[in-house]
């Protein structure tokens, strides 16, 4: 691999003064050093911009772009528009990556001819996580297999859908942009990128540390913006249907029904917002097919049917079940 191609690293930055040096340093010290590092500063009110400029002065590979508070989707798009690399790697500014991450992903693509390489990650609040030695264990899979895995357990859902810890051929992004104003921009976008791949190589090593900030948006209390992703789940159904990927369409359909039942309860008990509750129920009734058997054990055929008739029937059922469970425990103690 003597003729290494340019890799563009895109890092959106917003009020990350406390974490940014760790993230940037983990990129600057990559064993794969033929990098273009684009920091997209999004109108921070702390010292993030000054830090970005200081790093750019020290490292000619770094450029700082201003995005004036347009949000993370627009920041990713700005970085993509400015990218010159044959490949794109994304990082979030509070996370950090193993020193060999980009090299391992690049080598996996070169050796397999894949369009995309996906690494693994560790989640937590460790300020100095020690990455385990690389095993070089890899598996080549199809786009449809990657999409199936994105409907798996929580770790795989994150691994296959998040934009980071992946090395993309830049051409995958042609005419694909992250949606402005959405906080779950990856759920709207990544399936489109995966679907474009002729093959994908999965690297079974932890290459990124997903740092869990207590003040992050995802750790905030529930609010209406967190329902953004429901629109993405609807779009996925249509996306798979258009390609006649029947298994994935069914999985996407199942995922939407499950999410709508869950989010109705949160809109009811946390937001106390009848308008949102009605909108969720209307969406459910629009999609629900009588007699559907869910792959989620909790979503029985009877429960889904009851929800389609009226959501409060399910709320009543949950309350009765909880009361019976409590009574059983009381009698057994």
**pLDDT 10s digits, 234-282:** 999 999 999 999 999 999 999 999 999 999 999 999 999 999 999 999 9
> Is 60 exceeded by the pLDDT of residue 2?
no
- Tokens 């990713």 -> residue: 76
Q: Give percent above pLDDT 70 in the chain.
A: 96
Q: What is the pLDDT of residue 212?
A: 93
Q: What is the mean pLDDT of residues 276-298?
A: 95
Q: Which is higher by pLDDT, 316 or 95?
A: 95
pLDDT of 48 reads 96
With cut-offs at 50, 70 and 90, classify the pLDDT of residue 215.
low
pLDDT tops 60 at residue 227: yes
Mean pLDDT for the stretch of residues 168-181: 96
**Nearby residues of 321 by Cβ (< 8 Å), 6 or more positions away:** none
Q: What is the mean pLDDT of residues 122-138?
A: 95
pLDDT (mean) for 166-178: 97
| pLDDT value of position 4 | 86
Contact 29, 59 (CB under 8 A): no
Q: Which pLDDT value is given to residue 220?
A: 52
3-class secondary structure, 121: strand
Burial (CB count <10 Å: 0-12, 13-18, 19+), residue 294: middle
d(CA 11, CA 223): 26
CB 24 within 8 A of CB 55: yes
3-state secondary structure string, 143-191?
Answer: HHHHHHHCCCCHHHHHHHHCCCCEEEEHHHHCCCCCCCCCCCHHHHHHH
* Rounded-to-integer distance, Cα 140 and Cα 155, Å: 19
Taking residues 90-113, report their average pLDDT: 98
Structural domains present in the chain: 7-215 (3.90.550.10), 224-332 (no CATH)
Position 317 scores a pLDDT of 84
Question: Could you report the per-residue pLDDT of 3-25, keeping only the tens digit for each?
Answer: 789 999 999 999 999 999 999 99
At residue 320, does pLDDT exceed 90? no
Q: Tokens 């990650």 identify what position?
A: 121
Q: Are 323 and 300 in contact (CB under 8 A)?
A: no
Position 219 scores a pLDDT of: 45
Residues found in the chain: 333
Q: Which two tokens stand for residue 163?
A: 């934009």
Sign of the alpha-carbon torsion through 299, 305, 306, 310: positive
Instruction: Report the alpha-carbon distance of residue 12 to residue 90 in Å, rounded.
Output: 9
How large is the angle between the packed helices 246-266 and 274-287, nearest 10 degrees? 160
Contact 45, 15 (CB under 8 A): yes
């Amino acid at each position: 691999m003597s003729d290494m191609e340019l890799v563009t690293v895109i890092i959106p930055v917003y009020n990350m003064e406390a974490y940014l040096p760790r993230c940037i340093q983990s990129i600057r010290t990559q064993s794969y050093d033929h990098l273009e590092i684009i920091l997209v500063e999004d109108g921070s009110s702390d010292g993030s911009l000054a830090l970005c400029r200081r790093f750019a002065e020290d490292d000619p590979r770094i450029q700082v772009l201003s995005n004036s508070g347009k949000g993370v989707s627009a920041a990713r798009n700005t970085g993509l528009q400015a990218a010159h690399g044959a490949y794109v790697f994304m990082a979030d500014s509070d996370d950090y990556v193993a020193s060999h991450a980009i090299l391992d992903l690049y080598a996996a693509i070169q050796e397999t001819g894949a369009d995309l390489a996906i690494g693994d990650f560790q989640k937590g609040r460790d300020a100095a996580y020690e990455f385990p030695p690389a095993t070089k264990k890899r598996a080549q899979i199809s786009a449809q297999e990657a999409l199936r895995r994105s409907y798996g357990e929580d770790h795989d859902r994150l691994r296959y859908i998040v934009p980071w810890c992946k090395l993309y051929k830049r051409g995958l992004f042609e005419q694909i942009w992250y949606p402005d104003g959405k906080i779950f921009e990856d759920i709207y976008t990544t399936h489109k990128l995966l679907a474009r791949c002729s093959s994908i190589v999965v690297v079974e090593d932890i290459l990124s540390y997903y740092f869990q900030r207590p003040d992050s948006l995802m750790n905030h209390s529930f609010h209406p913006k967190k329902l953004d992703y429901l629109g993405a789940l609807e779009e996925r159904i249509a996306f798979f249907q258009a390609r006649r990927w029947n298994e994935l369409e069914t999985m996407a359909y199942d995922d939407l029904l499950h999410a709508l039942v869950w989010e109705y309860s949160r809109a009811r008990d946390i937001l106390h917002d009848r308008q949102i509750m009605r909108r969720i129920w209307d969406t459910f009734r629009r999609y629900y097919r009588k007699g559907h058997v869910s792959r989620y054990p909790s979503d029985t055929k009877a429960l889904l049917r009851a929800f389609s008739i009226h959501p409060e029937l399910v709320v009543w059922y949950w309350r009765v079940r909880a009361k019976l469970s409590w009574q059983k425990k009381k009698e057994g103690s």
